[in-house]
Structures are given as C-alpha cells and as structure tokens.
Chain A
Amino acid sequence: MNDTALKWGLLAPAILISAVMLFYPIAQSFWYSLHDWNLTQSPDLGAFLGFGNYVRLLTDDPEFWDSVWVSTVFAFFSVTITISLSLAMALLLQGSSPLEVNVRTLLVLAFAMSPALVGISWRFLLSPEFGAADAVIKWLIPGMRDVPILADTRTAMAALVLVDVWHWSPYFMLTFVGALASLPQETIEAAQVDGAGRTRIFFGIMLPQLRSVLTVTILLKTIFSVKMLEQVITMTKGGPGTSTSTVPYMVYETAFRWYDFGYAAAMAYFLAFVMLILAMIYARLTMEGVK
C-alpha cells in the first residue's frame, strides 16, 4: 500500500461521517442565516436577505455586542485558570503512589458530571438559604455574608468561571499527566544529574516538550469555553440583568425562545467564523516552531 492510498484510507471514515453529520447540517443552517426566518410569522423559510442578518448584527444590535464582551471575559478567565491549574495539578499528581493515583481517580468524577448537572448542583450548593457551599464561603469570608453569590454582578461571573474551572481541570490534568508520562525521561534525568533545579527543569525542559499538547489543550478549552451554554442556563439564566448572558445563550434564546431563527443562525455563524480565524492565527503562531 502506498502512502497516498494509506493517507486517504485512514481519513475516509472520518470524512464520511463528518460529511453527513456535520458538513451537511452546517451548510444547511448557514443557508438559514441568509434568510428571514421568523417562526412566529411562518413555519417556512422566509425571504432571502443575503447578508442582511449579518449587517443587522454588526450595526444594530448593542445587546449582541454586550454578549460578545461577556463571552470574551468568561473565555479568557476560564481558559487561563483551567489550563494553568490543571498543569499544576498534573505536576502534583503525576506520580504512581497510591495517594496520587487515588486522588486522580476521584477528581475525574467532577468531569464525569454532565455540564447541566454541574450547573444544577452548584446552583443548589450556592443557594443563599440552603446551599452548603454558600454557607462555607460565608463562614470563611465574613465580607461575603450579605452577597447573594449568583445574583451579584461581580460574583455571578466569578462563580460561573470557577465552576467551569472546577468542571474541566480534572480532565485536563489527566491529559497533562498523560503527556508528562510520554516525555522522554532521559533528558530530565540528565538535567537532574547536572544539578538543575525543579523550576529550571520545568520551564527549560518539560514545558517546551509539552508545547504541542499545550497548544491543543488551549485550543480545545477555548472552544469549550466559547460554547459553554448549559451552566448559564442552569446557574444564572444570563443574570443578574444580562451580566452573564454569553453569545451561545443569546443564540439559544433568539432561536428557541424568540423564534427569530434566521437571525440566530447569523449570530452563530458570525461567532464560528471569527473563532475560526482566531484559531488559524493561533495555530500559525504556535505550531510553526513545532514542525
């Protein structure tokens, strides 16, 4: 078998599945975004608007831009905190002692919870009257005593970010443990013999070798953060006010609550397109050096 045949043979199943389950519906709903499709007016696709929905989005919708800002803030903090924390956790828990193995096994349970369950549970735990976590926080930090955590503009966003970090860190920790395990040990041992400190070994030797895994995890976490919807629905409903109303929440509301489907599709594709460009720039910047 020659390489070209192997290359396409290996790719064929993925391409086939993606074509039917991914490219087709995406092309179809992109087509919707070029139309006026308000379901309260008619069940059928309305007039062709070209990029009319996109123009409206860019020029005449301050609420959308508010949600872009909310999403940006959320994504920035949740990505940076999750990735750095989970890498730290991996360094802490990478060993094979029973304590480390068991803690690793147990931490992953947080990730096993569905996003909706995470949101519902934390809303329960942060309830001002019956929430266990709320009680603990208020006991530890007396200054928080009068703050309704999910109804205060400052703390609601912080809670959303931290719950997301809580949910994802165990998974990325596991990824990093896996990556650390496949690093060649010789260089690290050699450096240790040379008397290099832990900090130097980490930044000088391990981090550069983790580069491709880091690139991928940051990219993935960014997608998860930008897409995050369930916790907003289950924890804050975008509130208080619209302070935690992210773009996916707005897309969901516009499509399934307000029935402005064509416009919601435009929001979704605008977001996807911007993110694709950002991802490409990011990939160019970080992957150049790897290969």
Chain B
Amino acid sequence: MIFSMSRRSATLGLLLATGLAGGALAQDMPYGLKPGKPYDGTTVTIMLPNAGQYRAQAKRLDELKELTGITAVHDYVPYGQLLDKITAEAMAGSDTYDLVTWQDTWGPSLSGYLEPLGDRIAEDDIDLMSYPEVFVESATYKDAIIGLPVRAQAQLLFYRKDLLEQAGVEPPTTMDEMVEVAKAVQEETGVSGIAMDYGKGNGFQNLFSWMNFMHGYDAELLDADGKVAFNSEAGVAATTAYLAPLLEHQVAAPGSIQFVEGDKVQSMAQGNSAMVMVWWWGYPVLTGERSTLKPEQVGFVAVPGFGNDTKSGIGQSMPFGIMKTAKNADAAWEVLKWMANADLEQDIATDKTDPDTNEIIVVHRSSLQDPAVNAANNGVEEVGYEALEVSQTMPMLKTWPQVASVLEATISDLAANGGDVKTALDEAAAQVERIVERNPE
C-alpha cells in the first residue's frame, strides 16, 4: 500500500516539525513503519559495502531514529570481501549483524543463514509486484523470499554518440548489429569498436555477458533434469558468438582479454573504445570525474537482443536480508522496510546536492518510471527498466559459485588461447557434472 502513495518527505517533515511522529496513527506512519515505536532503544547493525546509495541512507538514519527509536549502524565492508565476512559470521554463528546484503547469486548458498521473509511481507502487505520480476526472483531461493532488493543493476549498452555519428551508424538493437556498428566505428575512427571483459574478476563478471548470449541462443546451462547442457550445439554457438568480437571480428579492444568489468568501462571512459555493455553503474563512471568524456558524448540503449523473442539481458540485485542469528530481528525488519522503500530511494536518486551521495540506482517499478528520478539522471532508469522487464537472473543454484568458477576459467582460457570451443565446453561440462553430482541442490 505504501508504494502507491506519492513522495513522503514533505509529509514527514511536517510530522516531525509538529512533534506528531511519535504518536502518529498507523496510516500516518511513513515508509510503512510500525507506529508507537515498539522497538525504541534497540540497535540494528548492518553489514554493507560502501556506496553512494548507502552513504545517502546513512545521512538519513537520524530520521529513522526519530520515527522508530531504532539506532541503525552501518558497518562498511570492502565490496570484494563482503562474502568472506558474511561467511565467517555465519560459520561462527555470530549475532553481531542483524541485516546483511549480498550479491544475488550468493543467495542460494547463504539461504540457510537468512530468515525467510514471506510471513513478514504478507503481514505488512508489501507488494512484490512493485519490483520488476527479475529482482524478486533474484532474492528468492526455492520459492522462499530471503531478501528485499535495495540496490540493483540493469544491463545497458553505452556508446560514444560522437563516434557513431562520425561513422554514420545508429546504436545497435541486436548483437549482430552491434558487431557491424563496432566494425564501422573502428574502421572510420580507429577507436576500438567495443570493450569486452574476458578476464577473470570478482564475482564471475565475464559470465554476465556470456549468459546473455546463452539466453539469446536458447542454450541452457542445466536442462530440466538438472543435467549439464551448456556444451550443447546452441551453447557452442552462443559461446562462439560471445567470443567473436575478439577472436573473429577483431573489433574488441585488444586489452579485453585481460579486462575485468571495471577495466572495460575505463577503456571507454579513457576514449579507447567506442562501446561497452555493462551495468548502469557505468553511467556515472563514464560521465564522472575519472572519465575523459563529456556527458553529451555518452549515449545508452538497453543491452542489444538477438532479434528473436527470447528474453535477453541479465538483472542483478543486492538484496538485504535478516540473519537467522540476528539479535533484533523485528527491529531489523523495520529498518529493512525503510531501506527498501520506494519513497526513500526516490528521495535519494533525486538529491544531487552532494557528489558523495549522488546515486542513480532505484529498484521499484514506480521509481524506475518516475519522471523526477529520470529527469535527475538523464533517463538512465527508463532505459534500464526497458531492459529489466525482459531480463533474467543468473542461475540460482547453491553450486553456482563453484560452477561459475569453472565456466569463468574456461571462458578466460578460450579468449586467451583460442582453441576449440566444443572441446573446452566438454571439459568444463565434465567438471561441472562432478560438482553437481557431489552437491545435490
């Protein structure tokens, strides 16, 4: 119900000003919070990486305390070590953290340590339809929802407006077109057509684009019986097509073999590549302080499809959930409702007063389409939303981290050394089969 309401900040300010917040009636509590401060005096400790969005939330924690009496504490953990830290906490059965966040593909393996939220969601009437389907899926394992999306990513294709214009081509809408555009730009301007990331990096980055191609070619990772299927004919074709910009067409920036996600974005930002497919966080990087590009040089479209009806594109989210060992699970739920609220994210995404808390990311359908949000961020959300509605999650498997390691290594090896795609995928399939056999879901 809360999601259907318009921006709350003004109402909230008024409530606070007149000192009514504490005694407000249920329907007057903003962000769907419980009235009467039932958790007054409790502390909720949150483990999260440092990001503009969270720093913006941190600035607003006092407001949360006014409303609920709950002290929320942000413990920032380096992004690359987030999983290490959660793992250690979970193994030791520690009750230090009430709320944690994770990259969605870790969800299945962490699901044993997280409280299922279905009952709480039903009780507080939270409408999951307010999120693009892909984000809800990414916070669900075996029909149990274990988190609410707060931070999420949509895939976009960023391109150099000036270079494409110079080459007389339009931004591509299919992957085949993308190769053509890359060729045209590279021939005309001498700048590499597209920056790819075939290297090994944090969180199996090179698999996001690869999975795009797999979806586009209708290739399955595992078939309906859970048997390994990625070395099928379609899988080989998809993988070949994924590697083609580098190996066949030579339109990928030469560094692509070594690049991980951050590098490929920098390659475009430094003027060395004309296009890059990446999450929408790429936008502030490409137009930001480390970039040599001006905002008017950077265009973006939804990630190209494959000219058929298959769902293309990957959505990725960082849900927040409650640790089973949390000291204050009920209070944590209040904080989580606040963090995941559409009003809050809109407030943050439209606040451009402080570069330190500048943020483009929103996750609710209403926010993604919100004119004010889009106006403040050059319409990145709208285009991202277009992609998200046809996007899928990465495979939600407990064994995914292990399977992904094998696939990631196979891809980086193929990119570095060439070699026969079918043979390499067969070898990977044998390894994955052993993993799947040993660890039934």
- Do A and B share a direct contact in the complex (Cβ within 8 angstroms)? yes
Interface residues of A (CB under 8 A from B): 38-43, 63, 127-130, 146, 148-153, 236-243, 245, 253, 256-261
Whether the Cβ atoms of B109 and A259 lie closer than 8 Å is yes
Whether the Cβ atoms of A150 and B258 lie closer than 8 Å is yes
Contact of B254 among A38, A148, A236, A241 (CB under 8 A): A148
Whether the Cβ atoms of B113 and A43 lie closer than 8 Å is yes
**Count of chain B residues near A, Cβ 8 A:** 41
Whether the Cβ atoms of A256 and B87 lie closer than 8 Å is yes
Cα A83 to Cα B285 in complex, Å, equals 43
In the complex, B5 has a CB within 8 A of chain A: no
Whether the Cβ atoms of B415 and A151 lie closer than 8 Å is yes
Complex contacts, B399 vs chain A, CB 8 Å:
40, 258
Contact A241-B410, Cβ < 8 Å, known A38-B439, A39-B91, A128-B254: yes
B409-429: CB near A (< 8 Å → 1, else 0) gives: 110110111000000000000
**23 A-B pairs with C-beta separation under 8 A:** A39-B87, A40-B108, A40-B109, A40-B398, A41-B112, A43-B91, A43-B113, A129-B255, A129-B263, A129-B270, A130-B270, A148-B255, A148-B416, A151-B416, A237-B201, A240-B199, A240-B257, A241-B416, A241-B417, A258-B399, A258-B402, A259-B109, A261-B91
Cα A247 to Cα B370 in complex, Å, equals 51
Whether the Cβ atoms of A129 and B83 lie closer than 8 Å is no
Complex contacts, B374 vs chain A, CB 8 Å:
none
Q: Nearest A residue to B90 by beta-carbon distance?
A: A43
Complex contacts, B112 vs chain A, CB 8 Å:
39-43
Give chain A nearest CB distance to B267 CB in angstroms: 6
Whether the Cβ atoms of A152 and B416 lie closer than 8 Å is yes
In the complex, B240 has a CB within 8 A of chain A: no
Whether the Cβ atoms of A129 and B405 lie closer than 8 Å is no
Complex contacts, B413 vs chain A, CB 8 Å:
239-243
Whether the Cβ atoms of A257 and B254 lie closer than 8 Å is no
Complex contacts, B84 vs chain A, CB 8 Å:
256
Pairs A-B, 7 closest by C-beta atoms: A241-B413, A128-B255, A239-B200, A151-B258, A240-B416, A237-B200, A148-B258
Complex contacts, A146 vs chain B, CB 8 Å:
254
Q: Nearest B residue to A258 by beta-carbon distance?
A: B402
Residues 99-137 of B contacting A (Cβ, < 8 Å): 108-109, 112-113
Q: Nearest A residue to B403 by beta-carbon distance?
A: A258
Contact A259-B87, Cβ < 8 Å, known A240-B257, A241-B410: yes
Cα A237 to Cα B412 in complex, Å, equals 11
**Which of B258, B267, B408, B417 has the largest count of A CB atoms less than 10 A from its CB?**
B258
Complex contacts, A238 vs chain B, CB 8 Å:
200, 409
Whether the Cβ atoms of A129 and B272 lie closer than 8 Å is yes
Q: Nearest A residue to B86 by beta-carbon distance?
A: A256
Give chain A nearest CB distance to B286 CB in angstroms: 15
Sample of 19 further A-B pairs with CB below 8 A, known A237-B201, A239-B408 = A39-B87, A39-B90, A39-B109, A39-B112, A128-B254, A128-B258, A129-B263, A129-B272, A148-B416, A238-B200, A239-B200, A239-B416, A240-B199, A240-B200, A240-B415, A240-B417, A243-B413, A257-B405, A260-B402
Cα A148 to Cα B199 in complex, Å, equals 10
Whether the Cβ atoms of A239 and B409 lie closer than 8 Å is yes
Give chain A nearest CB distance to B279 CB in angstroms: 19
Cα A80 to Cα B378 in complex, Å, equals 57
Residues 79-96 of B contacting A (Cβ, < 8 Å): 83-84, 87, 90-91, 93
Q: Nearest A residue to B111 by beta-carbon distance?
A: A40
Whether the Cβ atoms of A127 and B409 lie closer than 8 Å is no
Complex contacts, A149 vs chain B, CB 8 Å:
258
Whether the Cβ atoms of B113 and A148 lie closer than 8 Å is no
Complex contacts, A151 vs chain B, CB 8 Å:
198-199, 257-258, 412, 415-416
Whether the Cβ atoms of A239 and B412 lie closer than 8 Å is yes
Whether the Cβ atoms of B405 and A253 lie closer than 8 Å is yes
Cα A39 to Cα B88 in complex, Å, equals 11
Cα A238 to Cα B416 in complex, Å, equals 13
Whether the Cβ atoms of B83 and A257 lie closer than 8 Å is yes
Give chain A nearest CB distance to B428 CB in angstroms: 10
Complex contacts, A127 vs chain B, CB 8 Å:
255, 258, 263
Complex contacts, A130 vs chain B, CB 8 Å:
266, 270
Q: Nearest B residue to A242 by beta-carbon distance?
A: B409
In the complex, B253 has a CB within 8 A of chain A: yes
Complex contacts, A258 vs chain B, CB 8 Å:
399, 401-402, 405
Give chain A nearest CB distance to B300 CB in angstroms: 21
Cα A179 to Cα B90 in complex, Å, equals 47
Cα A152 to Cα B416 in complex, Å, equals 6
Complex contacts, B431 vs chain A, CB 8 Å:
63
Give chain B nearest CB distance to A128 CB in angstroms: 3
